[in-house]
Amino acid sequence: MYPGGGGGGFGAQWVELNHLDRILAQLTRPQLAGSGVPPAVEDDLESIGLSAYRTGRKELVQRVWGRKRPLLRSLEPDDDPIPPCA
């Protein structure tokens, strides 16, 4: 599956990156103007400690990217992440 076996070390970073990627994909889908964040996305945001209450999509995307950047920086140059479509 992921390097490191997914047991809390390096593999946990891959799981978290995948989770953040899914949230970003949902947040950046085209939506009708004025539509809120779907309940499933709100649940995913809450699972990582973010609230969609009175927060626009743009700000939510920025906050999720703020969580993703440090994980990406911690990857080693020889790490080869599995693309989301694999």
Other Cβ atoms less than 10 A from the Cβ of 77: the count is: 5
pTM above 0.85, yes or no: no
Distance CA 29, CA 76 (A): 30
Q: What pLDDT does 5 receive? A: 43
Contact 31, 57 (CB under 8 A): yes
Tokens representing 44 are 């995913």
Q: What pLDDT does 69 receive? A: 92
Q: What is the pLDDT along the chain (86 residues), one digit of tens a residue?
A: 334 444 445 578 888 899 999 999 999 887 777 777 888 889 999 999 999 888 888 899 999 999 999 988 887 655 655 665 54
Place of tokens 């990627």: 21
